Amino acid sequence: MKTKLATALLAGLLAGMPAHAAMLAPGVPFPAWKLRDQTGAEVSSADLTGKTYLLWYYPKAMTPGCTAEGISLRDRYDDFRSLGVEILGVSFDPPDQNKRFAEEEKFPFRLLSDDGTLAIAVGAAESSDQKTAKRVSYLVGPDGKVIRAYGTVNPADHATELLADLRSAKGSGG
Protein backbone atom coordinates (compact mmCIF):
# COMPACT_ATOMS: atom_id res chain seq x y z
CA MET A 1 0.00 0.00 0.00
CA LYS A 2 2.84 2.39 0.80
CA THR A 3 4.26 1.91 -2.71
CA LYS A 4 0.95 2.88 -4.34
CA LEU A 5 0.70 5.98 -2.15
CA ALA A 6 4.30 6.99 -2.88
CA THR A 7 3.73 6.46 -6.61
CA ALA A 8 0.55 8.54 -6.51
CA LEU A 9 2.30 11.33 -4.59
CA LEU A 10 5.24 11.32 -7.00
CA ALA A 11 2.90 11.38 -10.01
CA GLY A 12 1.05 14.32 -8.47
CA LEU A 13 4.27 16.23 -7.90
CA LEU A 14 5.53 15.51 -11.41
CA ALA A 15 2.22 16.59 -12.93
CA GLY A 16 2.81 20.08 -11.58
CA MET A 17 6.34 20.32 -12.97
CA PRO A 18 7.07 21.73 -16.42
CA ALA A 19 7.79 19.12 -19.05
CA HIS A 20 11.31 19.33 -20.43
CA ALA A 21 11.77 18.71 -24.09
CA ALA A 22 13.73 15.68 -25.12
CA MET A 23 15.76 15.36 -28.29
CA LEU A 24 13.60 15.21 -31.39
CA ALA A 25 13.41 11.84 -33.13
CA PRO A 26 14.38 11.28 -36.75
CA GLY A 27 11.43 11.77 -39.08
CA VAL A 28 9.62 14.36 -36.98
CA PRO A 29 9.26 17.94 -38.22
CA PHE A 30 11.84 20.32 -36.78
CA PRO A 31 10.08 23.32 -35.17
CA ALA A 32 9.82 26.49 -37.24
CA TRP A 33 12.26 29.13 -36.05
CA LYS A 34 13.59 32.66 -36.65
CA LEU A 35 16.90 33.70 -35.13
CA ARG A 36 19.44 36.50 -35.66
CA ASP A 37 22.88 35.72 -37.04
CA GLN A 38 26.17 37.37 -36.04
CA THR A 39 25.48 40.33 -38.35
CA GLY A 40 22.02 40.89 -36.89
CA ALA A 41 20.26 39.52 -39.99
CA GLU A 42 17.22 37.33 -39.43
CA VAL A 43 17.54 33.70 -40.51
CA SER A 44 14.59 31.33 -40.46
CA SER A 45 13.74 27.72 -41.10
CA ALA A 46 11.54 28.96 -43.96
CA ASP A 47 14.70 30.37 -45.63
CA LEU A 48 16.13 26.85 -45.62
CA THR A 49 13.15 25.01 -47.09
CA GLY A 50 14.46 22.60 -49.71
CA LYS A 51 17.95 22.51 -48.17
CA THR A 52 19.65 20.13 -45.77
CA TYR A 53 21.18 21.90 -42.80
CA LEU A 54 23.10 21.19 -39.63
CA LEU A 55 22.03 23.12 -36.56
CA TRP A 56 24.79 22.66 -33.96
CA TYR A 57 24.19 24.05 -30.51
CA TYR A 58 27.29 25.07 -28.58
CA PRO A 59 27.39 26.27 -24.96
CA LYS A 60 29.52 29.42 -25.20
CA ALA A 61 31.47 31.27 -27.87
CA MET A 62 35.25 31.33 -27.56
CA THR A 63 35.50 28.50 -25.04
CA PRO A 64 37.83 25.55 -25.69
CA GLY A 65 35.25 22.86 -26.57
CA CYS A 66 33.10 25.17 -28.68
CA THR A 67 36.15 26.49 -30.50
CA ALA A 68 37.38 22.93 -31.19
CA GLU A 69 33.98 21.92 -32.55
CA GLY A 70 33.66 25.05 -34.67
CA ILE A 71 37.15 24.62 -36.09
CA SER A 72 36.48 20.98 -36.98
CA LEU A 73 33.32 22.04 -38.84
CA ARG A 74 35.19 24.93 -40.48
CA ASP A 75 38.02 22.69 -41.61
CA ARG A 76 35.55 20.26 -43.22
CA TYR A 77 33.24 23.00 -44.53
CA ASP A 78 33.91 22.19 -48.20
CA ASP A 79 33.01 18.54 -47.55
CA PHE A 80 29.68 19.60 -46.05
CA ARG A 81 28.99 21.98 -48.93
CA SER A 82 29.78 19.26 -51.49
CA LEU A 83 27.10 17.15 -49.81
CA GLY A 84 24.65 20.08 -49.96
CA VAL A 85 24.62 20.79 -46.21
CA GLU A 86 24.47 24.28 -44.76
CA ILE A 87 26.06 24.65 -41.31
CA LEU A 88 24.50 26.91 -38.67
CA GLY A 89 25.90 27.29 -35.16
CA VAL A 90 23.52 28.28 -32.36
CA SER A 91 24.16 29.53 -28.82
CA PHE A 92 22.67 31.86 -26.25
CA ASP A 93 25.43 34.36 -26.99
CA PRO A 94 24.35 37.76 -28.39
CA PRO A 95 25.07 38.49 -32.08
CA ASP A 96 28.08 40.72 -31.32
CA GLN A 97 29.79 37.95 -29.34
CA ASN A 98 29.03 35.43 -32.10
CA LYS A 99 30.44 37.91 -34.62
CA ARG A 100 33.70 38.14 -32.72
CA PHE A 101 33.84 34.33 -32.45
CA ALA A 102 33.19 33.88 -36.19
CA GLU A 103 35.77 36.50 -37.14
CA GLU A 104 38.49 35.21 -34.79
CA GLU A 105 38.08 31.62 -35.95
CA LYS A 106 37.33 32.49 -39.60
CA PHE A 107 34.08 30.53 -39.61
CA PRO A 108 32.49 30.53 -43.07
CA PHE A 109 29.07 29.69 -41.61
CA ARG A 110 26.54 31.73 -39.69
CA LEU A 111 26.27 31.72 -35.90
CA LEU A 112 22.77 32.27 -34.57
CA SER A 113 21.59 33.72 -31.27
CA ASP A 114 18.79 31.87 -29.48
CA ASP A 115 17.02 33.34 -26.45
CA GLY A 116 16.45 29.75 -25.30
CA THR A 117 13.01 29.26 -26.83
CA LEU A 118 14.13 27.00 -29.68
CA ALA A 119 16.70 25.28 -27.46
CA ILE A 120 14.00 24.25 -25.00
CA ALA A 121 11.77 22.99 -27.83
CA VAL A 122 14.53 20.78 -29.26
CA GLY A 123 16.15 19.50 -26.06
CA ALA A 124 19.21 21.77 -26.12
CA ALA A 125 18.07 23.39 -22.85
CA GLU A 126 15.94 22.32 -19.92
CA SER A 127 14.52 25.71 -18.96
CA SER A 128 14.66 29.43 -19.60
CA ASP A 129 16.91 29.76 -16.52
CA GLN A 130 19.68 27.80 -18.20
CA LYS A 131 22.69 30.04 -18.95
CA THR A 132 24.13 27.95 -21.82
CA ALA A 133 22.83 25.46 -24.34
CA LYS A 134 23.73 21.80 -24.29
CA ARG A 135 26.13 20.61 -26.95
CA VAL A 136 23.67 18.91 -29.32
CA SER A 137 23.18 18.89 -33.08
CA TYR A 138 20.47 18.21 -35.62
CA LEU A 139 20.66 17.35 -39.28
CA VAL A 140 17.45 18.64 -40.84
CA GLY A 141 16.37 17.56 -44.30
CA PRO A 142 15.00 19.57 -47.22
CA ASP A 143 11.48 18.64 -46.07
CA GLY A 144 12.10 20.23 -42.63
CA LYS A 145 12.19 16.87 -40.85
CA VAL A 146 14.91 15.64 -38.54
CA ILE A 147 17.32 13.32 -40.34
CA ARG A 148 19.43 12.65 -37.26
CA ALA A 149 19.71 14.01 -33.72
CA TYR A 150 23.02 14.04 -31.86
CA GLY A 151 22.48 14.26 -28.11
CA THR A 152 26.05 13.36 -27.24
CA VAL A 153 28.72 15.25 -29.13
CA ASN A 154 32.49 15.01 -28.94
CA PRO A 155 33.63 18.46 -30.17
CA ALA A 156 36.81 17.22 -31.86
CA ASP A 157 35.16 14.29 -33.68
CA HIS A 158 31.72 15.67 -34.48
CA ALA A 159 32.45 16.85 -38.04
CA THR A 160 33.89 13.45 -38.98
CA GLU A 161 30.89 11.67 -37.42
CA LEU A 162 28.44 13.91 -39.29
CA LEU A 163 30.18 13.45 -42.63
CA ALA A 164 30.25 9.66 -42.20
CA ASP A 165 26.51 9.67 -41.46
CA LEU A 166 25.78 11.94 -44.43
CA ARG A 167 27.82 9.79 -46.80
CA SER A 168 26.21 6.63 -45.48
CA ALA A 169 22.75 8.12 -46.02
CA LYS A 170 23.65 9.18 -49.57
CA GLY A 171 25.05 5.72 -50.29
CA SER A 172 21.88 4.03 -49.07
CA GLY A 173 19.70 6.29 -51.19
CA GLY A 174 18.69 8.47 -48.21
For 70, residues 6+ apart whose C-beta sits below 8 A from its C-beta are 58, 89, 101, 105, 107
CA distances from 109 to 7, 40, 56, 102, 117 (A): 49, 14, 11, 8, 22
Say which DSSP state 36 is in: E
**What are the residue numbers of the active site?**
66
For the chain, helix, strand, coil in percent to 5 are: 40, 20, 40
Q: How far apart are CA 139 and CA 86, in angstroms?
A: 10
CA angle 48, 50, 151 (to 5 degrees): 65
